[in-house]
């Protein structure tokens, strides 16, 4: 940022460098001055838009609170709900994600399931089929960096139609080891032109604002030689 400081009794325009040291503007390359000015303009605009989005989110939350209170009943207790216009051409969705973690009993459930699967596949001659099921069971119990498992895979495993009593016992142990935590909630807004049309989600994502067909290299690559050069 350019500032004015008094140096030797004279007012000198200064700019701060990357070390925090003030440098006379006269000693700075023109490109660096241009980049400093334009980057600051973009950052200021981004901050302004972020503030507008924050205010929009607060407004949406107030609307959802009002609608939940007015409807009274029928609101999902797990934080997932939907509201729409009377013509059903516009809607608001509130979606809540949940994370799942397994306690130490999951180790017993995994060993029990592996044992049942191995025993049940003794008569299966196709090696790939055996490995696919055993690998799937193993993947279900893998955790991410935060210690959570993929809940969708856990439910897929529990829904497998295996009649074996030992498998059912293993499923019961796995269910007792499951702990779910509300991780985050988000809002989506969607519209459609008619009942026969698909819903179109209105995205507030920067990447969606990139002009269609705009090629970065075509417009900004200074290394690309122009025709006739």
Q: Note the pLDDT of residue 69.
A: 86
Task: Check: CB of residue 13 under 8 Å from CB of residue 24.
Answer: yes
Residue-level pLDDT at 125: 53
Task: State residue 107's pLDDT score.
Answer: 94
Residues in the chain predicted with pLDDT less than 50, given as ranges, are 226-229
CB 151, CB 98: distance < 8 Å: yes
What is the model's pLDDT at position 84? 94
Residue 203: the pLDDT is 87
120 HSE (CA, 13 A, CB side): 16
Q: What's the pLDDT score for residue 181? A: 82
The residues that bridge with 181 in the sheet, in sequence order, are 99
Model's pTM, two decimal places? Answer: 0.60
In this prediction, residue 134 carries a pLDDT of 84
Residue 182 near residue 76, CB atoms below 8 Å: no
Supply the pLDDT for residue 227. Answer: 45
Taking the CA of residue 154 as centre, how many other CA atoms within 13 Å lie in the half-sphere pointing to its CB?
25
pLDDT of residue 209: 77
Helix (H, G, I), strand (E, B) or coil at 132: helix
Q: Which of 194, 192, 211 is nearest to 202 (CA)?
A: 192
pLDDT at residue 228, as a whole number: 47
Look at residue 4 and give its three-state secondary structure: strand
């Amino acid at each position: 940022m350019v500032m004015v400081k008094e140096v030797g009794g004279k007012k000198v325009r200064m700019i701060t460098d990357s070390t925090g040291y003030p440098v006379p503007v006269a000693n700075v390359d023109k490109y660096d001055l241009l980049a400093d000015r334009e980057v600051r303009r973009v950052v200021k605009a981004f901050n302004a838009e972020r503030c507008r989005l924050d205010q929009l989110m607060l407004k949406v939350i107030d609307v959802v609170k009002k609608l939940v209170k007015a409807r009274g009943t029928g609101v999902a207790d797990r934080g997932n709900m939907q509201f729409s216009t009377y013509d059903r051409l516009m809607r608001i969705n509130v979606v809540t994600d949940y994370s799942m973690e397994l306690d130490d009993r999951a180790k017993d459930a995994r060993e029990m399931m592996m044992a049942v699967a191995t025993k049940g596949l003794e008569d299966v001659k196709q090696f790939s089929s055996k490995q696919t099921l055993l690998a799937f069971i193993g993947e279900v119990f893998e955790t991410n960096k935060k210690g959570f498992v993929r809940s969708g895979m856990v439910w897929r495993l529990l829904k497998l139609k295996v009649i074996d009593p030992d498998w059912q016992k293993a499923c019961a142990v796995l269910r007792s080891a499951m702990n779910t935590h509300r991780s985050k909630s988000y809002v989506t807004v969607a519209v459609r032109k008619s009942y026969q049309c698909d819903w179109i989600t209105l995205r507030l994502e920067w990447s969606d604002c990139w002009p269609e067909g705009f090629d970065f290299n075509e417009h900004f690559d200074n290394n690309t030689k122009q025709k006739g050069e």
